[in-house]
Structure formats: structure tokens, C-alpha cells
Structure 1
Amino acid sequence: MPICAIKHIPYGAKLGEDVHTSLGGLLFPKGTLVFEREMELLEAFLIKDVSVEEDAAKSDKKDEKAESREDKSAKGISQAVVGKKEFEQKFDKAVSSVKHLLHRVQGGENVPVMELREVVSPLLQKVQEQPNILLALSKVSNVDSYIYEHSIAVGMLAYVIAKWMKVPEKEWMQVSLAGTLLDIGKTKIDRKILVKPGKLTVEEFDEMKKHTVYGYQIIKSSPGLNEGVALAALQHHEREDGSGYPMGLKGSQLHLYSKIVAVADVYHAMCSERVYQKAVSPYVVVEQLMKDSYGKLDPKIVHTFVEGITQFSSGTVVELSDGSIAKIIFTDRNNPTRPMVEVNGKIINLADSRHLSIMKVI
């Protein structure tokens, strides 16, 4: 296939091969049509020439049958909006179902495992199809039903982390259930403590910490859940350096499920609006997770999660710290929380523009 210098690429040319950055990241896949935005990116990454399909090299006219970049963009945004609406409907339905199931457990029943699996399975399927949804989980959160929304979100996040960590596929659902049931012990905690808007007293916090032991006991007595699920409920507030609770265990003593659930729990909790805390940007949270990966959280799990949740974010619409609306166009693995974004046709590399940061996923 012809090799064409960037400055001589015909308008609407189709790339004949994948184009990679100097660091090895995929910038454009084979078959991408080159218009103004693509030209800007090629120049921004200092790429001198690319392979183009022969027909395109002979013509400098746009293929009339090809969709314009604007049409593609509008179509993509429209599909994303529809997908997000469908997901939110499934999520709301799941919240209602989980709330009902947990009320039954509160009344003394065992965990209805098969019913719970039926509730979370459609959401896990949706995440497989549309992983960008994970970045918008914090937007779904509602203060009044936070405990139920949090359990579902943690279950979804734990599921994808297990997948990215290459945990055997047969265990993915158990890991997801471990996340979904992490706070089931709170069904035995006084609601006044759970929804208290201010800081808990020492006595109240001691009572709150008991939810880990209560959760372990509930899950152990429920058939269909393995030991890892029970230990995740017991250990998800333990920390690598032994500073957590209820037993002050260190990393080597903790079950893998509990380590995965701990990362998912911290991430979603920090992203969410709660009675005593304002929501924080997912990207700010990810930066904090990376800092906490030494001493508090398992660094391998944190880094796997950060790489996974930032690499599929191209096309995500975000709000920057200066109030401008931007679209993520490329994420460098060396700076996963500071991608390249497009603002009103201008390309900004957040790794260089340190005065700007991503504050919100739209």
C-alpha cells in the first residue's frame, strides 16, 4: 500500500494500516477515514507518514458515501445517550430488587443467591457491551438509596477487575456477588447510624465496624456462596499495612476477593454523593487510588484497575476544571488520568497542561 506523507494525505483518505504512537499505543485502527481532527492528532504525535489505501491516494476528494466526521460524532453521541438511558433503567430496576432482597435477609432469610444472580446478570452483560458506563456509575448514585446502589456498583466493578486480573472465568460471578454483598451486614446496624450526616461517635463507629462480622455470618449460613464471598464481607475494610478493621490483618493474610472488593468499594464511595461527602471526579479518585496503592490497597490490583478503566475512555465527554466541555481522544498508559482531550476543535494534552484536570464525566 502507498506510504503518504502527512501533509499530502488526501481529504477522506482511508488508512491502510494501524497507526501507533511512539510509545506503542494505538492511535487509529486500519480503515479510519482521515479528516481535520485525524490530521491534527497525527501532527500532534509527530507522525511523519502513514499507509493509505491505494484508491484514496489517487484522489483528493471525499468519498460521497462516507459518513462525515460530524455525522459519525453525532451518531456516536446519540447511541451513547440511548445506551446510558437503557443502563440507568436496568440499574434502577436492580436497586429496587436488591432493596427488596436485603429486606428479606434483614427479616431472617438466607441470601436468595439465584434471585440475586438474576438481578445483576443484565448489568454485567451491559458492562461487557459498553464498558465506558463504569465511568458514569457515580452519576447514578442517589443519596437516599446509596447503600443499595453502592452494593450493585461495587459488584459490577469487582466483576471487571476480576476479569482484568485474569481470575478464572468460573469465579467472576462469585467475585461480583462478593462486591454486591460487601455491606450486607449493615442490615443489622441501626439505621440512624447508617444515615447520620455528621461524624460518628467512637461508640457509633465501633458499632458500624461490626457490619463486617455480621456480613460474614450471614453469607456463611447461605448456600451457593463460596468462602471468598464471606471473607470479602469480613475483610474489605482491612488494609495492606494492617491499619484496617475488624482484625488488623495485613495483605498476605487477606483473600483475593476482599482485595478486589476493597479497591472497587473505595473507588465508588469516593466518586459518589453521600450524606456526609460530595462526589469527586472519577479521574481524581483514580489518582488518589494510585497514591494509596502503596500501604493501603494492593498495588497490582489498583494498577490493573486504573489501566483498565482509563484505556477504554476514548470518546467519553468530560468537564474540565475550568468549566469547559471536552472529549477524551487518547489515553497514554504512562499518564492514565491525564489524557489528550479535544475542546472546541483544539487538542489539549492534560499531561502537559497541569493547571487543568478532569472534574466530571458527562
Structure 2
Amino acid sequence: MVTNLPIVDVKQLTIGAKLAEEVHTSLGGILFAKGTTLYEKEMEFLEAFMIKQVQIEDANMTGGEEEEQATEEPQVVPEKFNPDKTSFQQSFDKAVSTLKSLMIRVQGGNNIPVMEVRELVAPIILQFQKQPEVLLSLRSFSRLDSYAYEHAVAVGIISYMIAKWIKVPEKEWMQVALAGTLLDIGKTKIDRRVLQKPGKLTAEEFEEMKKHTVYGYQIIKSSHGLSEGVALAALQHHEREDGSGYPLGLLGSKLHLYSKITAVADVYHAMCSDRIHQKALSPYLVVDQLVQDSFGKLDPSIVRTFVEGITQFAVGTVVELSDGTIGKIVFTDRNQPTRPMVETGGKIINLVDSRHLSISRVMEH
């Protein structure tokens, strides 16, 4: 066994360094596997988890020139770990089951274990960075019985991506992800009969349900390690730009940025999922709906950036059109991102021209 591998301060790391040992968080979870190549994103996570030093493979073994190249162009260094759908599914399921047990503790009156929530969100965000096209097929990871927890994990991931795309300062991305994950934490205080009622809620039950926003704000405020924006996202994610939302009927100009980001993520994932009251819609129909909702309901610039962001990964995705035709997306026009060009049987259908057709389903990758 080689013991003389260099131990390096995280602040001194160079891009492209490889871990010689697993990195564990303070709570004992594995943050990175042995052999992981460290780029800016990984270094950000090491700092976020307050890890001071790591053991890396001896740089001399790869030769200096190669090392220099890797530093200059990190994006062309091939990733050793390229997760496929099953590993994403496993990470997603693990995050969901961990969140479920954490929420049971909050329901019992405990504060939010913030470090543990960070720990379950961080690895899945990292994996997601490498496989962003999963945004279009999140539905295939869902199971109805644990929908609330899946929704929380998914909204956390989507909120993180939106924050990145709309150029929120990088140091805030993790807080935005936590805001998305904890949006509905106030539901731990709502009567279970109201939460799980299969039919339509009565006026009184709906008033009770609305209180989850205020309860969420209170729970987050009393937990350490979460910013005011995270608490305000829980309070305001059902407010709408035109003042038609709840609990306070605030106008868009009065809403915190985190609440505007998480509102878009919340609506997108909910509409793409099978729920008790409603069957899932195709991500493309949902995105069209979001664009309509950005007139008065959701922040239009956030919606536009999200739609551009989510559709940029679509090339190569197999879809079913509303007339039953199966084809592959070959080009997305940034100005009309929900109406791409689809190749089927050797011919191209341009949905910008074929207005009678739409994408009714994204097939699983």
C-alpha cells in the first residue's frame, strides 16, 4: 500500500487533482468517492462541508505537462465517474428516504438538522451537474407513496439550477437548494387528514392547508444555518406576481428572490408528476403552461431563463408527439424552446411550423 501520497490543504488544490481516499463529512457520510477528479464545483463542496485537507494521488505520476493542460481546460478532462440512470435513481431514492426520516424528527418537534439536509442534497446536485438532461425525465424517478419527499428533493435540485442560470452569486446556490428542499416543511404541522385527503378540500381545510407557509417560516427561523431567504421562500412560495397568492397576497415587487425561484421549481415539478389529484403532464406542456403563468403569476425573467436552461439539454431526447409519432429532438430554437425540430423516420418535423402538434411525452432515456 502506498502511504506517501500528498495530503493537501483544500485551499491549495489545483483543478484536475484526483482523490486518493474517500472524503467523509463530519457526520460520517461519504461526500466523494476515491478517484474523484476535483474541479471548481467539487472544491466548493469541500469548503462548504468545512473539510480542511484531502489526500490526493501523486501529481508526478501523471507527468507535469499533462497536469498543466488539465488545469487550463478542466472541461475537456474526461470524467472518470459518469453516472447512468440507475445510479441517479439510487442517489435520488437514498436522498428521498433520508429526507423522510429527517422530516419525522421535525414532526416530533425537533429543529431542522441543517447539516444533514445539506449532506443529502449535495451529492445528488453534483451528480445532476453531470447529467442535467434528467430535468426532462424526473417523472420516471417518482413513486406516488413518497411524492412529498421526492418533490422536496427535486425542487431543491431545480432551484439550485435556476439560481445558477439566473446568475445568483455562487456562494448562495446551496442556500437556494435548501430553500427548495424545505419549502413545504410547514406541512409537518398540518393535520394529516387534511394533507392526505384524496378529494377536494373544503374552504376550512384549504385555510388550514395555507398555514403551512407560516409554519414553515417559523420552523426555518428557529433552525441555525439557514438564511432569511430560505425562511421567506417557505413563507412566500405560493404568493404570485399579481398579488393573487397566499398567505399575504403580496405583489411581485415585495417577494424575496428565493421565493420567486422556488415557486417556478415547485410548479414545474408538481405539474410533471403523478399526484393524487392529477396525472403528470409532459415537461413540454408544463413549460408552455409556465410561460403562460409568467404573465401575472410567476416572475417572467426567471421563467424565461428556466425554459431556456431546461430545453438546452433536449437534443437527442426521444419524445412522443400528440399524434402518436415517436421521434428524436435534433434542434432547439432558443426563441421557441418548447417547439423544437423532431426527426422521425428520416424526415424533420419543425414544431414551430406544425402548430397542431405538441410534445405529449418525453420517453425515458
TM over 0.5: yes
1:229 aligns with 2:230: yes
| Equivalence for 1:117 | 118
2:86 partner letter: K
Letter in 2 for 1:175: V
Partner of residue 331, structure 1? 332
CA–CA distance in structure 1, aligned partners of residues 229 and 249 of structure 2: 18
Partner of 2:194: 193
Aligned to 2:299: 298
Name the counterpart of 2:184.
Answer: 183
Is the contact made by 1:127 and 1:133 (CA closer than 8 Å) also made in structure 2? Answer: yes
Residue of structure 2 in register with 1:289 after alignment: 290
Q: For 2:90 and 2:345, how far apart are their aligned partners in 1? A: 32
- Answer yes or no: is the 8 Å Cα contact 1:327–1:341 preserved in 2: yes
Check conservation: 1:238, 1:245, Cα contact below 8 A.
Answer: yes
Amino acid at match of 1:173: M
The AA in structure 1 aligned to 2:124 is L
Q: Residue 307 of structure 1 corresponds to which residue in structure 2?
A: 308
Residues 27-74 of structure 1 deviation map (CA, whole Å, 9 limit, x = unaligned)? xxxxxxxxxxxxxxxxxxxxxxxxxxxxxxxxxxxxxxxxxxxxxxxx
* Aligned residue identity for 2:213: T
Q: CA–CA distance in 2 between the matches of 1:278 and 1:250? A: 31
Shift of 1:226: 0.3
Alpha-carbon shift at residue 141 of structure 1 (Å): 2.2
Shift of residue 325, structure 1, vs aligned partner: 1.8
The answer on whether the counterparts of 1:319 and 1:359 sit within 8 Å (CA) in structure 2 is yes
Matched, 1:256 2:257: yes
Runs of 4+ in 1 over 4 A off after TM superposition: none
Deviations 1:197-223 (A, max 9, x none): 211000100000000000000000000
Specify the alignment match of 2:356 in structure 1: 355
CA distance in 2, matches of 1:207, 1:185: 11
Note the aligned Cα RMSD (angstroms). Answer: 1.3
Supply the distance in 2 between the matched residues of 1:272 and 1:140 (Cα, whole angstroms).
10
Map of 1:54 onto structure 2: none
Aligned residue number for residue 43 of structure 1: none
* Distance (Å, rounded) in 1 between the aligned partners of 2:113 and 2:347: 52
Q: How many residues are aligned here?
A: 283
CA distance in 1, matches of 2:195, 2:323: 35
Cα shift readout 1:129-155 (whole Å, capped 9, x = no counterpart): 111011111222222111100011100
- CA distance in 1 between partners of 2:226 and 2:184 (Å): 15
Aligned counterpart, 1:149: 150
- Give % identity: 73
SS at match of 1:327: strand
Contact 1:196 1:275 survives alignment (8 Å): no
User: In the alignment, does 2:130 pair up with 1:129?
Assistant: yes
Q: Is structure 2 residue 212 aligned with structure 1 residue 211?
A: yes
TM-score by length of 1: 0.76
CA shift, 1:284, in A, is 0.3
Unaligned stretches of 5+ in structure 2?
A: 1-80
Structure 1 residue runs of 5 or longer lacking an equivalent are: 1-78
Q: Secondary structure at the match of 2:348?
A: strand
Alpha-carbon shift at residue 353 of structure 1 (Å): 1.4
Q: Aligned partner of 1:161: which letter?
A: I
Shift of 1:311: 1.4
Report the counterpart of residue 107 of structure 1 in structure 2. Answer: 108
Match of 1:241 in 2: 242
What is the deviation of 1:344?
2.3
Q: Within 5 Å, give how 1:36-115 maps onto structure 2.
A: 83-115=84-116
Superposition TM-score, scaled by structure 2 size: 0.76
CA distance in 2, matches of 1:142, 1:189: 22
**What amino acid does structure 1 have at the position aligned with 2:191?**
D
- SS at 1:200's partner residue? coil
Cα shift at 1:357? 1.1
Larger Rg over CA atoms:
1
- The alpha-carbon deviation at position 359 of structure 1 amounts to 1.1
